[in-house]
Each structure stands twice: as C-alpha cells, then as structure tokens.
Amino acid sequence: MTVPNDADLYQLSGWIVILLVVLVYGGTLLVSAYIGKKKENADGYMTAGNKVGFGISAASMTATWIWASSMYASATAGYTYGISGPIHYGLWGALMILFIYPFGKRIRAVAPKAHTLAEVMHARHGRSSQLMLAGSNIVGSVISLTSNFIAGGALVALLSPFSFGQGVLAVAVGVLMYTLWSGFRASVLTDFAQVVAMLGAVAVIIPVVFFAAGGPAMFDQGASNLTPQQSNFFSSDAFLNQGAPYIAAVLAYAIGNQTIAQRLFAVREDLIKKTFVTATVGYGATVIGIGMVGVMALYLGVSPVAGDVNNLIPQMASTYLGPVLLCLFFVMILGALSSTADSDLSALSSIMMADVYGKNIAKKANPKTMLLVGRITMIVATAAALVFASQQMDILDLLVFVGALWGALVFPVIASFYWDKVTNRAFTTSVIVALAVFIPVRFSWFSMDGVTGIFFDILSAAGIGIVLGLMVFGFFGLKPAKIVGALAAVASAPFVIGFLHDYTVLTGSLVAYAVSTIVCYLMSVRSKQNFDFALIKQRIGDYDPVADDATAHPDDDLDGVTLSARQ
C-alpha cells in the first residue's frame, strides 16, 4: 500500500494554472455579460425579479452551500472521526437547507417582494431588530468571503509555483469581476455552471482516488490505523464534537445566512419546495462524498503536509490523480469557493442596498443610487476580505462564533413570522441577553464547576428541546412541536446534566437558543399587541417600478423557459 506521507506533491506549472484561472473566470465573465442588462435595475440586482426557475435556483442553492471550506472540513471530519465524521458534517449541513423550507414558504407568503430577512424585520418590528439581523448577516458574509479567499490562496500555493497571496488576489479579482455588474443575476446563473462542474468532478475524482489508493483492500489493510472511536459508525466523539453542534446550528445557519434568504426571495414561489429538497440531496451527496477522501487518508495512514489537515484534499489529489484530473480537481475547488464568494458579495450588496441605504438613509430610495451602493459594497467587501485573508485568521473559530450568534436570533426571527404578540423590545432584548450569556460560556470566561455547570446544563437541556421543537414546528405545527420539545428536554436531561458543560461549543450554542427563547417568550406572552401580518406585504415592495430594461430581454430571464428560448 502506498503511504504518501513524505511524497513530494506534484504541482501544476504556472502557465497551466494561469490558463485554468482565465478559463474559469473568463467563462463566468462571459456568462455574466450574456445575461447582463444595459440598464440594470435595483430589484433585479438583489433578487432577479423573484422569478428564478427551478433548475437554476436549485443549482444555485446547492453551489452556494457547497463552499471550499465545507469540502475541506468534511475531509477533516473523515480524517478525525472516521466514516461517521463526514456523515455528521454533510447530513446536518444538508438538513440546514431542508429545515428552512417550511419557514421559507411562510416568509414568502408574508413578504413576497422582500429582498432580505432584515428588511422584513424592519416592516414587522422596526429599526433596531432590522439592524441587529442585518449586522449579524454582514459579519457572517464577510467571514465567509474571507474564508473562501484563504481557501483559494492555499489551493494555489499548494498546487502551483505561485504564492498564497497571489492566489488570494487572483480569486478576489476573478469573483469581483463577474459579479460586480449584474449582482445576484450573475451569481445565480454562474452557480449553475459551477455546480454542474463540481458534481461532474466529484463523480470522477473520488472513484479514481479510491481505486488508485488500493480500492476495498485499503479498508482491511489500514484498519489498524484507526482508534476504536474512529472505527465505530456510532462514535460518541464524532456526535458530541461534530454532529451535535451541527444539529444545534441547523436552523441558525438557515435563518442567519443571507445567501440562503436571498435565494428564497428569488425563486418562483411555487418552486420553493422542489428547490430546497433538490439542494438538500445535492449538497449532502457531494459533501459526504468529498469527506470520504479524508476517511481514505485515515486508513492509508497519511500525515497531512505541514501538519495542516486543510492540506488533506489537495495532498490526496496530488498523490493519486494524473495531470488531467488534477486540473479538473483545481477547477472543482475554484468553482466551489467562487460560487460561495459571489453569493456573499451579492448578499452583502443587498443588505447595504435595502437595509442600510433603503431603510435607514434615504427618505425615498433612488434605484440608481441603490445600484451604486451595491457595487461600491462589493468592492469594499472584497478589499476588506483581502486584508483579513492576508492575516490568515482562524476562520473556523470565527464561523463557530457567528453560528452561535445566529442561534440567538432563531426563535425571535421565527416567532416574528407566526406570533402576533412578539414586540420589537422583546426581539432586541432577548437577542442581547442571549449574546451576553453565550459569549462568556463559549469562551470559558468562568469556571463551570459545581452549581454553575449544573445550571448551564439545565439551560442546555432546554435548548435541546427548543431546537427539536422548532424543527417539528416548521413541518407539523405548534402542538406536535410542544410535545416533541418537552419530551426532548426531559429525555436529554439525565444525559446532559453534570456532563455537557465540558463541551463549551455545544453548550454555548444551546444556551443561546434557550436564553433568547425564554426571554422573548416571557416578554411577549403578556403583550397586548396583535400585529396584522398583512401590513408586511403592504410595507415591502419593489424599489424600481420598471420591471424591464431597454433591451430585448425580459426581466424574468432566469426562468428556465425564457432562458432556453434565448439560447
């Protein structure tokens, strides 16, 4: 069996890498120019007129959720926890998409013309709730953008003669170039081509690596490299360190991530279910499949180059793939990180256009000024992400922080779409109190010994009930949600109390859920407010009254029928 611990990595030549980068970003630029409009409008720039068809929207949702970091992290999970690692990573990531679907239908029904979730919170509650949600979206999108630039720099540095900084710069310029002019429309359509390339590459590359590394015999010969936990499909280590925090984050990422909300508002309303279900399957299959590369590395006894597990995927690809397939691999990773990076840019521009300029600066929003704000936002965000990427910050730690930050928002946001008694004060207070409790817990600012640990374990048990109750509520309604939530909290208590506070990442996330829910409920239940949800539809509409531009192309150009007619 070949064990490539000390193998020199095969690198592509500089000219080949330049050619691949030009092909990827030149091709997406051509696509962007093809669907671009001579006179872009603000609503099209943010949500493509709310008329995106099934194929493009499903592909875009899948491509956006599959980012380079998720591929690397899935392989890391496989290498760290064995075969259960990628399943805990990919399955729960896929369910993030699925569990937002029922809430997505409600959100679109209440606010069919919205551009961001924060914009809906402005119509529902007012400025403070809106800015709180928009601020968390901005932080998350900038971190995600930075993470993708870092992944691009690392890819180029490992597989070519170019440096990390040169790789980061090439990716940043390439993504900005094709996203700047047409905004979300460019992002969503180029996603289609990118996801087709990614799925095709995965279908070819993983089997090739598998058989080149020894095929089924690899698992017999390398079994001695695994610990008992890594050999166990039901590993408790994998569940507590990987699976459980992801379960807690399922709704948080779905609610807090503007890239998902933007696609929710863009897809045709009758296609929401098909889009989300298809994206769930596509994401799960792809990311779990990529994670198997890490499992193979574990069985083969591979040591990551420089001790960095993020090098596992390119290391395995460089060892077992020939030059042609290595080029395909390079394109796959470049497509994955670019599809998410352009989504982050589009999300950031929409937030600044709708939530900052449209609702808080302009007395009457000017669509032309909104477009300018959106494009300037993309340039500034790219520059900021370049600076952060050059510092090579610990992005995964920041992502965990943002995930818990969004966890504090989940109940107040969801309740605001269903419960007429939730007030602006209850929303903002519950989020602030939840964050004030979460941060010291997450970063272990005090001892969890004795009664303190028991107290937070009890809150965590309540958090488990709230997370599962919210998941059930989306599909089956309030009564089943209350039953499942109560049973989950009670059933988990004996296993959680006196034990869970040692896992600060999981405890912090569950506490954020529990505190925000308890505070929001207690402040709202006695409220005399009876909010009329019909007001949201009246308060949110198109910024640009002219649906189409002066070209021959209608504004519903991302509907599959119209698109195919133009080809």
pLDDT in tens, 100-129: 788 888 888 888 888 888 888 888 988 888
What is the per-residue pLDDT for 491? 93
- The predicted-structure confidence for 267-285, as pLDDT tens digits, reads as follows 888 888 888 888 888 888 8
Which range (166-170, 177-181, 499-503) has the least confidence? 177-181
- Specify the pTM: 0.79
Residue 203 structure tokens? 């279908």
pLDDT interval class at 484 (50, 70, 90): very high
Q: Are 349 and 45 in contact (CB under 8 A)?
A: yes
Above 70 in pLDDT, residue 231?
A: yes
Phi, psi dihedral angles at 52 (to 5 degrees) = -70, 135
Above 90 in pLDDT, residue 457?
A: yes
**Highest mean pLDDT (candidates 180-189, 333-342, 404-413):** 404-413
**Mean pLDDT along residues 369-375:** 84
Cα separation of 437 and 417, whole Å?
Answer: 25
For the range 22-30, what are the long-range contacts, defined as Cβ-Cβ under 8 Å and sequence gap of 24 or more? 23/331, 24/174, 24/331, 24/334, 24/335, 24/338, 25/174, 25/175, 25/177, 25/178, 25/338, 27/193, 28/174, 28/178, 28/186, 28/190, 28/193, 28/194, 28/338, 29/177, 29/178
The residue ranges of DSSP E strands in 7-112, in sequence order, are none
- The predicted-structure confidence for 273-323, as pLDDT tens digits, reads as follows 888 888 888 888 888 888 888 899 999 988 887 777 777 888 888 888 888
Residue 376 structure tokens? 């300037």
Above 80 in pLDDT, residue 255?
A: no
The DSSP-derived string for 264-333 is HHHB-GGGHHHHHHHHHHHHHHHHHHHHHHHHHHHHHTPPPGGG-GGGHHHHHHHHH--HHHHHHHHHHH
The DSSP-derived string for 480-542 is HHHHHHHHHHHHHHHHHTTTGGG-HHHHHHHHHHHHHHHHHHHHHTT------THHHHHH---
What is the per-residue pLDDT for 323? 87
What's the distance, CA 320 to chain centroid? 30
What is the per-residue pLDDT for 556? 45
Whole-number average pLDDT of the chain: 81
What is the per-residue pLDDT for 26? 84
Q: Are 377 and 352 in contact (CB under 8 A)?
A: yes
What is the per-residue pLDDT for 490? 95
What is the per-residue pLDDT for 433? 94
- The predicted-structure confidence for 513-542, as pLDDT tens digits, reads as follows 999 999 999 999 988 888 999 998 888 877
**Mean pLDDT along residues 407-427:** 91
pLDDT interval class at 550 (50, 70, 90): very low
What is the per-residue pLDDT for 437? 92
Kindly state the DSSP code that residue 356 receives in the 8-state scheme. I
- The predicted-structure confidence for 13-48, as pLDDT tens digits, reads as follows 889 999 999 988 888 778 777 765 555 666 666 666
What is the per-residue pLDDT for 150? 82
Q: What is the dihedral of CA 128, 129, 131, 137, to 10 degrees?
A: 160
Above 70 in pLDDT, residue 552?
A: no
What is the per-residue pLDDT for 130? 85
Above 80 in pLDDT, residue 6?
A: no
Between these two residues, 203 and 531, which has the higher pLDDT value? 531
Q: Are 438 and 408 in contact (CB under 8 A)?
A: yes
Q: Are 259 and 347 in contact (CB under 8 A)?
A: yes
What is the per-residue pLDDT for 515? 95
What is the per-residue pLDDT for 182? 65
What is the per-residue pLDDT for 513? 92
User: What Cα–Cα distance (Å) separates residue 489 from each residue in 162, 409, 503, 511, 516?
Assistant: 53, 20, 18, 13, 16
Cα separation of 105 and 93, whole Å?
Answer: 20
